[in-house]
Structure 1
């Protein structure tokens, strides 16, 4: 019995070391774009002629639109605010010379998809970026104290990803190539109190994307869940950029270097380190009442200071 236990523990230790080594190797891959481009210059254009980006009037969606246009694709902008898209389209056309098509749609509504599909007819779509999303409130709150906009959030964060993917994946399968980037969030990779509905909606995007990649990777299609931490966008009230808070432009540019790295990525080296650190913190600490109360108090104090300064 003692010999068996010793062999079992040795085997378990070896497996643990191998898993740790595999994680270290995976993390080391994220350093490579700092030295050389990990994706051939022709890669994105080889997927197809057009890229479709939802929520492309500003923030991350706008950044992806510019970045993919620079890499040789024509762009379809889909968003709610027409004036913003018109400005983005003009800037892209003037700076890159690529074609831009505009589709106005409010993704909090479920009746927009027939019009979108009709507008996309005849386009060879090689890339889809499911970026559109919303957060109930930029401030943390317990579920019953937050705004009651659950239906809008589910339509925008979950239904839009499902419908747009179903719409465009069909032609990708027929051509045996394509790239779908689904914007989840680090908050969708673990339970996140005080942002319960938002976190759960991003967990759907995370799981949905990974499942689809398992289903369709054999057909030459890349489907990747992006799980960033902080990005300076209207959703984050244009948070000040830092080591761990990326500008939308930096995030889009860096994340495109990681599209061949597997079914999920944080999109930046700094975020990979931060997420791994967060996952090392025991759940009982993150879920404790004391921590939640501290977070709520801090955000309330900051909100009061901001109101006074304005």
Structure 2
């Protein structure tokens, strides 16, 4: 009888102790759920604020907000060309920088005739290094540069192991993907600071957010642009300068036509024109953005390294390369 009473007492004590733990776990669960709900609500609000509300209200006056001229590098095709056209559509004069005089002149003529804005071109091969920048400085001298878009970039011919990438390509990746943006910012930023207004857009890539095997040097160079942009924004936001890290996901351009997975436009793989229309609307609103609402959802979904690689590990060969922006 004593044993039964002891067991009953022990059982009640254990049950009482478990109730305490269950109540504590329920409180932790409630707090976690509340935190997630708040986080999701904030993400949803930011999605609306960046990608939908700006399209419902009148367009910002970019000329008055930043300045009369925009400089765009890597602008003869793809994102750079589409971004330059979108800025011109909003009344901004465009200075195009690239290495092909023929292509630059064609794009400049198209923009001038279509959007009735002024255009200028600078022929420069950024792979040449420091020798090209004095000429660029001279052409830009005296112009009210309100917006700089650093879009120029070098990509692998196809993804490969790091030791198989040529030394020449590695130097070009470092020199162009990192060096050009750094020096171009150094050229135009003093004038912006003097006028106390201006915007700089450094086009990075969503692969900067996660390790990207077989694109190691490329993704690392894009990570530099991302960190460089965010650091500069904290340095110069108080001086009236807006600096944005633009991190697009897959976009339908000449680069992606070689991939069977990305060879067709879709909501997830927009054209450069659709992407630029969305991305320009985020200027002045977010210092770090994918520029496109579905890309933001994709980036949120690929929040871990293994998920990221599982979504980008397409079957790639020299004839069917994976192309990232």
Q: TM-score range by the shorter chain?
A: 0.7 to 0.9
- Residue 156 (structure 2) aligns with: 136
Which of 245, 249, 253 is matched with 1:225 structurally? Answer: 245
- Residue 249 (structure 1) aligns with: 273
Q: CA deviation at 1:164?
A: 0.5
What CA distance in whole angstroms lies between the structure 1 residues aligned with 2:196 and 2:318?
Answer: 53
Q: CA deviation at 1:66?
A: 1.4
Greater mean alpha carbon deviation, residues 227-236 or residues 202-211 = 227-236
Larger Rg: 2
> Are the structure 2 counterparts of residues 210 and 94 from structure 1 closer, same or farther at C-alpha, using a change threshold of 3 Å?
same
TM score, norm. by length of structure 2: 0.82
- Residue 12 (structure 2) aligns with: none
- Residue 161 (structure 1) aligns with: 181
Which of 52, 58, 82 is matched with 2:71 structurally? Answer: 52
Q: Is the 8 A contact 1:33 1:257 kept in 2?
A: no
Q: Deviations over 1:208-246 (max 9, x none)?
A: 111111111111111001110111223334743211112
Q: Is the 8 A contact 1:228 1:271 kept in 2?
A: yes
**What are the ranges of 5 or more consecutive residues in structure 2 without an aligned counterpart?**
1-19
What CA distance in whole angstroms lies between the structure 2 residues aligned with 1:135 and 1:82?
Answer: 22
Q: CA deviation at 1:109?
A: 2.1
- Residue 180 (structure 1) aligns with: 200
Q: Is the 8 A contact 1:134 1:235 kept in 2?
A: no
RMSD of equivalent CA atoms: 2.8
- Residue 299 (structure 1) aligns with: 316
- Residue 288 (structure 2) aligns with: 264
**What are the ranges of 5 or more consecutive residues in structure 1 without an aligned counterpart?**
305-310
SS in 1 for 2:152: coil
Q: Map 1:18-97 to 2 at 5 A.
A: 18-33=38-53, 36-37=56-57, 39-40=59-60, 42-97=61-116
What CA distance in whole angstroms lies between the structure 1 residues aligned with 2:79 and 2:232?
Answer: 23
Which of 232, 241, 261 is matched with 1:212 structurally? Answer: 232
Q: Is the 8 A contact 2:82 2:273 kept in 1?
A: yes
What CA distance in whole angstroms lies between the structure 2 residues aligned with 1:64 and 1:299?
Answer: 29
What CA distance in whole angstroms lies between the structure 1 residues aligned with 2:126 and 2:270?
Answer: 25
Q: CA deviation at 1:285?
A: 5.4
Q: Is the 8 A contact 1:108 1:153 kept in 2?
A: no
1:103 matched to 2:144? The reply is no
Q: CA deviation at 1:37?
A: 3.7
Greater mean alpha carbon deviation, residues 91-100 or residues 169-178 = 91-100
> Are the structure 2 counterparts of residues 35 and 91 from structure 1 closer, same or farther at C-alpha, using a change threshold of 3 Å?
closer
1:275 matched to 2:292? The reply is no
TM score, norm. by length of structure 1: 0.85
What CA distance in whole angstroms lies between the structure 1 residues aligned with 2:75 and 2:295?
Answer: 23
Greater mean alpha carbon deviation, residues 21-30 or residues 202-211 = 21-30
Q: CA deviation at 1:270?
A: 1.3
